[in-house]
Chain A
Amino acid sequence: MHERHDLDLVAAFARGTLEDPTPARELIESCPDCAEYYEDNLLILEAVRNDLTPRLTDLERRRLRQSIWTEIDGSQTGPAAERVTWRSGAWWYRMAGAVAVLAAVVAVGGVLLGGRGGDMALESTTAELPRSEEETAIAAATTAAADEFTPMAADGGASATTGAAADDTEQAGAPEEATTDRALRAFSAPDLPEVVAEFLDRVTGGEVGIERPFACEAEVDTEQLLAVEAAEMDGDRVWFFAFGNQEEPSVQVLRSEDCSVVYPNG
């Protein structure tokens, strides 16, 4: 970071938001680092302008709202037997991954054969596949995903699918979750002192470290920070922080929502 000059001024100049641009212009003319930062900002602004804002497809929007209301209704009428996610029972979304792979293979095939460009091959493939409104939506979502998130396509489907499974089992309280997401522990407020004691044991034993990102960073002394861990207290996300000496650390627990202190004196 260039510390001698006002880079905020340079960034604002690039965005055209200054009432009087003269000081910024003079700064850019006299400072090579500032001029470079100005060029960086222009490059980013151009990329943002040229980038399409991602949007939900109509099908995703409907499924999402349906899942949210199902979940709310379930929690209001009693404990939900099974966690509902936006894609519960949505075989079509799992199929979308296969369609993406198929489209990519056809695109690569086109390139390797040297006859047609990958984009043309991709378009022709997705154009032939849909047979219904739902399938059309799948193709649109899949094409968007393939276009915009190619680097993630190879592992994204698999990891996200397992992620959803973990989410589902966590809410349903399945024992498998304890091994796949050991640190995210759920407990009730009266058990907090006991959970804090367990957290302390694991901190002093070197089993917990600092894994970013975490919430409430502005509220804690990060220079003294030894360990961070997330948990759920009565359904609310809370963060356990350990500070100071590893032999005898102090602990603070903050509520994620508003960073209020729940321990000590919570």
Chain B
Amino acid sequence: MKDVADPDLLARAARGDRAAFDELMRRHEDRVFAVCLRIMRNRESTLDAVQETFLTVFRKADQFRGDSQFSTWLYRVAVNTCYDLLRRMKRRPADPLPEGYEPPDRRVDAALSSVELRPGLTTALASLSEEFRTTLVLADVEGLPIGEVAEILQVAQGTVKSRLHRARKELARILGNREAWG
């Protein structure tokens, strides 16, 4: 099974071969998880996104025509799934505060900041807009070529380049602050 190419595994999965789909998940689940976590920024929601991504892949397995690489198609499904979940989370009204709620102690906040809030890559990425963050994650963190990123995001290559340049400037500015703080 390990020598079988992704599209062949997908075709077998479409015919009900469980082992083939298990192998596909084994090959790609960590990368899908990593990309989704960078986009979603929350582990629990990310696991929902990964589950939904692979369910979509299974259900649409017979629709994969091989026009693009399997990994490109998989990333596209993953990114769209993350976007969907983020949109749903944005729409959801915040839970009301419980009765008797006391605002947090500012001194605790300050201590937390000094200990834990120095921005690493993940924290810095979280400061970018979703579009910039996703573009930068795919291109600079995952190392995908511009053309593939454009295909995944379903935008023109020029759009990817423009977003990438602006995202890099912004991210570098945020990462630069870390050195000032450290």
Mark each residue of chain B from 94 to 108: 1 if its CB lies under 8 Å from any CB of chain A, else 0: 110000000000011
Interfacial chain B residues near A162, Cβ < 8 Å: 92, 95
Residues B25 and A44 in contact, CB atoms below 8 Å apart: no
Q: Is B29 on the interface with A (CB-CB < 8 A)?
A: yes
Q: How far is the CB of B12 from chain A (nearest CB, A)?
A: 15
A157 to B85, CA, bound (A): 15
Residues A43 and B51 in contact, CB atoms below 8 Å apart: no
Question: Among A24-32, A67-75, A197-205, which stretch is in contact with chain B?
Answer: A67-75
Main secondary structure of the interface of B (DSSP, over half): helix
Q: How far is the CB of A221 from chain B (nearest CB, A)?
A: 13
With known contacts A112-B111, A218-B155, A43–B175 Cβ distance under 8 A: yes
Interfacial chain A residues near B22, Cβ < 8 Å: 65
Q: Is B78 on the interface with A (CB-CB < 8 A)?
A: no
Which B34-64 residues have a C-beta within 8 angstroms of A? 34, 37-38, 41-45, 47-48, 50-51, 54-55, 58-60, 63
Q: How far is the CB of B123 from chain A (nearest CB, A)?
A: 6
Interfacial chain A residues near B156, Cβ < 8 Å: 218
Q: Is A135 on the interface with B (CB-CB < 8 A)?
A: no
Nearest residue (CB) in A for B86 is A213
Q: Is B30 on the interface with A (CB-CB < 8 A)?
A: yes
Residue total for B at the interface (Cβ-Cβ under 8 A):
76
Interfacial chain A residues near B47, Cβ < 8 Å: 60, 64, 86-87
Residues A37 and B169 in contact, CB atoms below 8 Å apart: yes
Q: Is B176 on the interface with A (CB-CB < 8 A)?
A: yes
With known contacts A44-B140, A181-B91, A183-B91, A148–B44 Cβ distance under 8 A: no
Mark each residue of chain A from 166 to 187: 1 if its CB lies under 8 Å from any CB of chain B, else 0: 1100000000000011111000
A2 to B167, CA, bound (A): 13
Q: Is A81 on the interface with B (CB-CB < 8 A)?
A: no
A103 to B125, CA, bound (A): 24
A40 to B165, CA, bound (A): 10
Q: How far is the CB of B133 from chain A (nearest CB, A)?
A: 10
Residues A213 and B44 in contact, CB atoms below 8 Å apart: no
Residues B41 and A149 in contact, CB atoms below 8 Å apart: yes
Residues A151 and B120 in contact, CB atoms below 8 Å apart: no
A50 to B50, CA, bound (A): 25
Q: Is A230 on the interface with B (CB-CB < 8 A)?
A: yes
With known contacts A40-B172, A118-B116, A7–B48 Cβ distance under 8 A: no
Interfacial chain A residues near B126, Cβ < 8 Å: 149, 151-152
Interfacial chain A residues near B18, Cβ < 8 Å: 69
Residues B108 and A56 in contact, CB atoms below 8 Å apart: no
Interfacial chain A residues near B176, Cβ < 8 Å: 43
Residues A40 and B168 in contact, CB atoms below 8 Å apart: yes
Nearest residue (CB) in B for A212 is B131
Which A49-67 residues have a C-beta within 8 angstroms of B? 50-51, 53-56, 60-61, 64-65, 67
Q: How far is the CB of A113 from chain B (nearest CB, A)?
A: 10
A48 to B167, CA, bound (A): 14
Q: Is A251 on the interface with B (CB-CB < 8 A)?
A: no
Residues A48 and B33 in contact, CB atoms below 8 Å apart: no
Listed in ascending order, the chain B residues whose CB lies under 8 Å from chain A are 18, 22, 25, 29-30, 33-34, 37-38, 41-45, 47-48, 50-51, 54-55, 58-60, 63, 77, 80, 83-95, 107-108, 111-112, 114-117, 120-124, 126, 130-131, 134, 136, 140-141, 150, 153-156, 159, 161-162, 164-166, 168-169, 171-172, 175-176
28 sampled A-B residue pairs with Cβ under 8 A: A1-B162, A7-B165, A40-B172, A47-B121, A47-B171, A55-B30, A75-B59, A87-B44, A104-B112, A111-B111, A111-B115, A147-B116, A152-B41, A152-B126, A159-B45, A160-B45, A162-B95, A163-B92, A166-B92, A180-B91, A181-B88, A211-B90, A213-B87, A214-B83, A217-B159, A218-B155, A257-B60, A258-B63
- Given contacts A146-B116, A164-B44, 5 further A-B pairs with CB under 8 A are A56-B33, A156-B44, A163-B88, A163-B89, A180-B91
